[in-house]
């Protein structure tokens, strides 16, 4: 069975991904990563993350996938050596210079080549293998048929990884200068302002009669905005095509997002839930309209959407402690006695519960769970376990 690879932007997300069934987690440290600084772990946190993964017999990968300036390469030998010394299982790279430094200074670190390298053919894959790559994260523009063909032309020791879920870039596997020109923030260095998600109106003056109706509202439309990827119905086909690792995007996402998506894909991979149940679960995280990307071919792509998120559930609380008849939970969004919450627990179909009496840790009754991260005692009728998540349905919100 392929590896299920989950994202993590902090230690809570690392722990959540492992608890809900990820085989490996990818995160980033303080340097050369393609997300904001808030999605990077400190060095002590990286050590904790590696230890947490290895304790469960799982793996931890670190993203070094930013394109690097010469000034940044000076500190890379020491940083790569640190990652090797703490036992990181692989680094994800997109820059040949970064690959060369890591290979020379930290030879025990496996090299996984990022989707930002845009690998779409076997000659590129073979060249990267000669350069030391152990795994290729495939360009997102490939179809299932093209992936199978590529796999058939490669030696078995070169692994192929593919994204199966999450946000997609409108550019070629992330290579984009739109944000640099419009906002002064480079998408190739983790600073993307996502101008492709903004609303636009346009016309082409030299092509009379060729009209693209982009006007969805009086405010225009997000004509460049991509859908979010959802390949939950294509897992078997991806495995048959030779993909050994199913990757979920989302290092900027919450632990609730990670828990829900990892759980749905784990249950789908193991055929423990129906496809309908898995798809229903994936609707319960905040997302843009879904598509299967290019996996079935370009003709199936819907070229535009409104660029807006859909939300029908919120993260209500995380379970911290099981006390038998009661449990200690930590609030994330308000809820009150008499309201219905839903339990999200690894391997279990979601179960509804009606909130009963709420008490603080001193035993005082509470009118509601209204303080963010407040620790609360709640009746434990559903067998709540540490790491489980409670969520609350809300009226559909589009924003």
Q: Express each pLDDT in 130-146 by its tens digit.
A: 999 999 999 998 999 99
Computed over every residue of the chain, the mean pLDDT equals 90
321/144 Cα distance (integer angstroms) = 44
pLDDT in tens, 153-170: 999 999 999 999 998 876
Instruction: Tokens for 73, please give them.
Output: 């390469």
Q: Beta 159-167 vs 245-248: how paired, if at all?
A: parallel
The rounded Cα 72 to chain-centroid distance in angstroms is 26
**Mean local confidence (pLDDT), 334-341:** 97
Give pLDDT, residue 280: 95
pLDDT at position 297 is 87
Question: Can you tell me the mean pLDDT for 60-69?
Answer: 93
Among the residue ranges 33-47, 70-84, 197-211, 279-293, the one predicted with the least confidence is 197-211
pLDDT greater than 90 at residue 40: no
Instruction: Choose between 205 and 294: higher pLDDT.
Output: 294
Determine the pLDDT at residue 352.
96
Q: Mean pLDDT throughout 196-224? A: 58
Residue pLDDT, tens place only, 368-391: 999 999 999 999 999 999 999 999
Reported as a single tens digit per residue, the pLDDT across 215-230 is: 455 544 555 667 899 9
Q: How confident is the model at residue 36 (pLDDT cuts 50, 70, 90)?
A: low
Q: How confident is the model at residue 204 (pLDDT cuts 50, 70, 90)?
A: low
Q: What is the pLDDT of residue 6?
A: 98
Block residue for tokens 């346009």: 202
Angle at 164 between CA 158 and CA 170, to 5 degrees: 100
- Look at residue 211 and tell me whether its pLDDT is greater than 60: no
pLDDT tens for each residue of 170-192: 666 566 777 777 777 776 666 77
How confident is the model at residue 317, as a pLDDT?
98
Q: What whole-number distance in Å separates Cα of residue 135 and Cα of residue 159?
A: 4
- Average pLDDT (59-79) is 94
Of 279, 251, 256, 288, residue with least CA distance to 391: 256
Mean pLDDT of 249-259: 95
Confidence of residue 312 (pLDDT cuts 50, 70, 90): very high
Q: What is the pLDDT of residues 76-124, one digit of tens each?
A: 999 999 999 999 999 999 999 999 999 999 999 999 999 989 999 999 9
Confidence at residue 371, expressed as pLDDT on a 0 to 100 scale: 95
The share of the chain scoring above pLDDT 70, in percent, equals: 87
What domains appear along the chain, each with residue ranges and CATH number? 3-168+227-297 (3.20.20.380), 177-225 (no CATH), 311-398 (2.40.30.10)
Question: Would you say 254 and 39 are in contact if contact means Cβ atoms under 8 Å apart?
Answer: no
Pairwise CA distance, residues 338 & 14, whole Å: 33
Q: Judge contact between 35 and 28, C-beta under 8 A.
A: yes
- The pLDDT of residue 226 is 76
Dist CA 258 CA 189 (whole Å): 24
Residue range 256-273, pLDDT digits in tens:
999 999 999 999 999 999
**The token pair that represents 206 in the structure block:** 């030299």
């Amino acid at each position: 069975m392929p590896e299920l690879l989950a994202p993590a932007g902090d230690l809570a997300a690392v722990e959540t991904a492992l608890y809900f069934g990820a085989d490996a987690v990818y995160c980033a440290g303080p340097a050369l990563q393609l997300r904001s600084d808030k999605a990077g772990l400190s060095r002590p946190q990286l050590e904790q993350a590696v230890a947490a993964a290895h304790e469960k017999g799982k793996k931890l990968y670190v993203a070094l996938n930013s394109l690097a300036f010469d000034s940044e390469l000076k500190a890379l030998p020491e940083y790569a050596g640190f990652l090797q010394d703490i036992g990181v299982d692989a680094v994800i790279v997109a820059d040949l210079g970064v690959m060369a430094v890591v290979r020379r200074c930290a030879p025990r670190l496996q090299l996984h080549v990022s989707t930002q390298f845009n690998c779409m053919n076997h000659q590129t894959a073979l060249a990267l293998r000669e350069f030391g790559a152990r795994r290729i994260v495939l360009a997102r523009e490939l179809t299932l048929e093209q992936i199978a063909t590529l796999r058939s032309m490669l030696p078995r020791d070169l692994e192929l990884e593919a994204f199966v879920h999450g946000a997609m870039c409108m550019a070629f596997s992330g290579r984009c200068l739109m944000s640099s020109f419009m906002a002064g923030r480079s998408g190739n260095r983790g600073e993307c302002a996502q101008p492709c998600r903004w609303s636009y109106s346009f016309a082409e003056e030299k092509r009379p009669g060729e009209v693209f109706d982009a006007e969805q509202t009086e405010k225009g439309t997000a004509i460049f905005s991509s859908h979010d990827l959802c390949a939950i119905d294509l897992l078997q086909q991806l495995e048959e095509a030779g993909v050994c690792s199913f990757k979920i995007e989302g290092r900027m996402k919450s632990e609730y997002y990670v828990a829900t998506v990892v759980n749905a894909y784990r249950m789908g991979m193991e055929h423990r839930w129906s496809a309908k149940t898995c798809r229903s679960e994936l609707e319960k995280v905040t997302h843009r309209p879904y598509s299967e990307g290019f996996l079935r071919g370009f003709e199936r792509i819907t070229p535009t959407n409104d660029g807006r998120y859909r939300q029908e559930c919120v993260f209500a609380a995380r379970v911290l402690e099981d006390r038998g008849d009661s449990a200690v939970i930590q609030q994330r969004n308000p809820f009150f006695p008499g309201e219905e919450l839903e339990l999200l627990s690894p391997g279990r179909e979601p179960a509804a519960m009606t909130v009963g009496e709420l008490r603080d840790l001193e035993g005082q009754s509470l009118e509601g769970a209204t303080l963010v991260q407040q620790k609360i005692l709640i009746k434990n009728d559903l067998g709540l376990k540490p790491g489980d998540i409670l969520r609350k349905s809300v009226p559909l919100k589009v924003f």
